[in-house]
C-alpha cells in the first residue's frame, strides 16, 4: 500500500524546493526562504505573491477563480502564465511544478 507523500518537489527560479502537501504554494515558497512578499498572508488582497508558471503548468492546474483573475488583471507584468501562489494548494499532483518569481 502506498501512502500520499508529505511533500512534493517543485522548482522556483531554477532551484528545487520541497513543498508541504496541504499548504499553499505561497507558504511553501516563504518557508523555503524565497523572496516573495505575500503581504496579505494569502487573503487575496495584495498580489505580492505573484508568480509565473513555467511550461504547461497553467493548463494543468485548476483555473483561477474570478477574484484571483481580477487581482491578476491589476498587476503590472501579469501574463497568461501568472498566478497568485497563495491560491495554489500543494497536492501530490503538482510535483515537478516550475515557476519564476517576478523581481
Residues of the shown chain interacting with ligand FES in the complex, contacts defined by CB under 6 A: 26, 38, 40-42, 44-49, 84, 86
Cell of 37: 512578499
What's the min distance (Å) between Cβ of 42 and ligand FES?
5
Is the Cβ of residue 8 or residue 26 nearer to ligand FES in the bound state? 26
What's the min distance (Å) between Cβ of 88 and ligand FES?
10
Q: Among residues 8, 4, 28, 2, which one has the least CA distance to residue 96?
A: 8
Given a contact cutoff of 8 angstroms between Cβ atoms, the answer to whether 38 and 48 are in contact is yes
What's the min distance (Å) between Cβ of 98 and ligand FES?
19
Cell of 2: 502506498
Amino acid at each position: 500500500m502506498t501512502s500520499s507523500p508529505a511533500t512534493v518537489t517543485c522548482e522556483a527560479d531554477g532551484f528545487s524546493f520541497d513543498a508541504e502537501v496541504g499548504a499553499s504554494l505561497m507558504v511553501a515558497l516563504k518557508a523555503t526562504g524565497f523572496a516573495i512578499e505575500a503581504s496579505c498572508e494569502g487573503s487575496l488582497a495584495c498580489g505580492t505573491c505573484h508568480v509565473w508558471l513555467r511550461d504547461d503548468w497553467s493548463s494543468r492546474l485548476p483555473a483561477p477563480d474570478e477574484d484571483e483573475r481580477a487581482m491578476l488583471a491589476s498587476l503590472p507584468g501579469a501574463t497568461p502564465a501568472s498566478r497568485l501562489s497563495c491560491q495554489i494548494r500543494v497536492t501530490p499532483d503538482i510535483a515537478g511544478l516550475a515557476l519564476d518569481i517576478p523581481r
